[in-house]
Amino acid sequence: MTIDKGPVVAHGPAMIGLKLDDRDLKILSILSREGRLSKADLAKRVNLSPTPLWERLKRLEKAGVIRGYSADISLKGVAPHIEVFVTLELENHRAESFQAFEQSMGRHDEIVACWAIGGGFDYVLQIITRDIDSYQRLIDTLLDGKVGLARYYTYVVTKPVKLRGAPPLEFLLDGARPDGPADGSGD
Amino acid sequence: MTIDKGPVVAHGPAMIGLKLDDRDLKILSILSREGRLSKADLAKRVNLSPTPLWERLKRLEKAGVIRGYSADISLKGVAPHIEVFVTLELENHRAESFQAFEQSMGRHDEIVACWAIGGGFDYVLQIITRDIDSYQRLIDTLLDGKVGLARYYTYVVTKPVKLRGAPPLEFLLDGARPDGPADGSGD
DNA sequence: CTTGAAACAAAAGAGAA
DNA sequence: TTCTCTTTTGTTTCAAG
C-alpha cells in the first residue's frame, strides 16, 4: 500500500524580491507565535486598521511567505513516545539512490522531518515513534528496502531544550543587528 | 467512515488522564495541518455541530494537548539564509555546565531549536542564520563564553526533503499499525 | 448533542487623505 | 497609492433545552 501523504516538500511559489517593511516583519513575528490571533487584534497590534492588514496578510500568504498555519500539538501526557535524530549516509551517491531514499521519507509518518545535508553525512532525520523498538523496526524497514544505507547514527532526545523558534526574521532581514531584539513594540 | 479505535487514556508526567476518542484525534490531525480553520468548518469536517466541537477544543487546549498555534514562515525568496544542524559535546558534564549551556540557547534567536540527546553528543542544535560567516560568529560566541564546547560538527542543510509534519498521532495512539492510514474519513 | 441568539470577526466596497 | 469607514456575511461563544 502506498499512501499518498502528499508533499514531501511544498516549495512556495518561486518568488523573488518581495519587499517586507517593518510592519510586515512584525506581523510575521506575531503570527509565528500566535497563529490564530484575529485579524482585528493583529491590526491593533501593528497600528493598522483591518483592511490594510488584511491586504498585507493576503499578500504574504499568496507570496508563500506565510506557508500555512498549524496547531502545536504536545504529545506529553497523551501518548508514550520517543523522539530521535538520525544522521545517515547512503551506500552510493547516484541520483537514483537519493531519489529513492527521499521518496521513502514520505511514506513514513514517524519521520516527521528530513533534511539533506553536507558535512560527512547525507541526511538528518527527525523521528517521533512509540519506543526504541518501533524505531528499530523503522530503521530495519529502511535497511531492507532498496534504499542502501551505508551507516547511520542514532541520537535519542532526552530533553527538548528549546522548542519551536520562528526563524530570526529581524536578524535575517535587518543585516546589522547582532542578535535582534525581536520586538519593536510600544506602538 | 469512522474507524473506532476506542478511547485512549492519556498519561505522562502530569498524569492528565485525558481521554481522546477518535474525533479528538481527527481534530488534532486536521488542526496540525490547517491551524486556522474556522471552528465551524472544523465542526463540519468531523461531523459535529459547533458547540460540541467548541467544547472539545477548549478541553484540548486547557489540557495542553494543543499548546498553541503558529504561522509557518518561509524565507525562501525573501531573505538570504542558511540552515545548519550542529551536534556538539560539552567539555565537562557537570550540572552547572549543562545549565549554563542551555541558558545560552535562549539568548540567540538564530538557534531555532535545541535538543539534549544521548549517543555520543550532548546536544543537537538547529540554526537559521544569514550565511556561513554569521554562523561561525555565533559558534565563536558560544566558544568564547563560559560554556565549554569540547567539539562540534556542522551540517549545512542543502535541501529540505520533508518539512516538519505533525507527529504521527494515529500511529502513536493506536498500538499495532506499522504505518498508519492517517485518515479515517471520506468527508 | 441540538437550537438559537447576541457578540464578534472576516471580507469586500466606496471613497477620503 | 494607501488608509479609514461602512456594510454584509459568516463565526464564536454561551444559555437553555
Instruction: Find, among A125, A67, A71, A135, the residue nearest to B25 by Cα.
Output: A71
Q: Which nucleotides of C are covered by protein (CB under 7 A)?
A: 1-4, 8-14
Residue B153 vs residue B184, higher pLDDT: B153
Residue A74 gets the label, from left (phi > 0), alpha (psi -120 to 50) or beta, of beta
Neighbouring residues of B100: CB distance < 8 A, sequence distance ≥ 6: B145, B146, B147
Q: Which range, of A63-77, A103-117, A169-183, averages the lowest pLDDT?
A: A169-183
Give Rg (Cα) of chain A: 20
Query: What is residue B119's DSSP assignment?
Result: S
The helix (H) or strand (E) run that includes residue A66 is strand A66-73
Residue A19 vs residue A91, higher pLDDT: A91
- Is the pLDDT at A185 greater than 60? The verdict is no
Q: Is A76 an 8 Å CB contact of chain B?
A: yes
Using a CB-CB distance cutoff of 8 angstroms, which residues of chain B are in contact with residue A154? 119
Q: Is B168 an 8 Å CB contact of chain A?
A: yes
Q: Which residues bind near strand D, taking a CB cut-off of 7 Å?
A: A 48-52, 55; B 38-41, 50-51, 54
Q: Is B19 an 8 Å CB contact of chain A?
A: no
Using a CB-CB distance cutoff of 8 angstroms, which residues of chain B are in contact with residue A105? 161-162
Query: In this complex, which of B34, B68, B109 lies closest to A168 when CB atoms are compared?
Result: B109
pLDDT in tens, A41-81: 999 999 999 999 999 999 999 999 999 999 999 988 789 99
Most A CBs within 10 A among B19, B21, B32, B73, hence the mutation to make, goes to: B73
Banded pLDDT at B146 (limits 50, 70, 90): confident
In Å, how far is A75's CA from the nearest CA of chain B?
A: 7
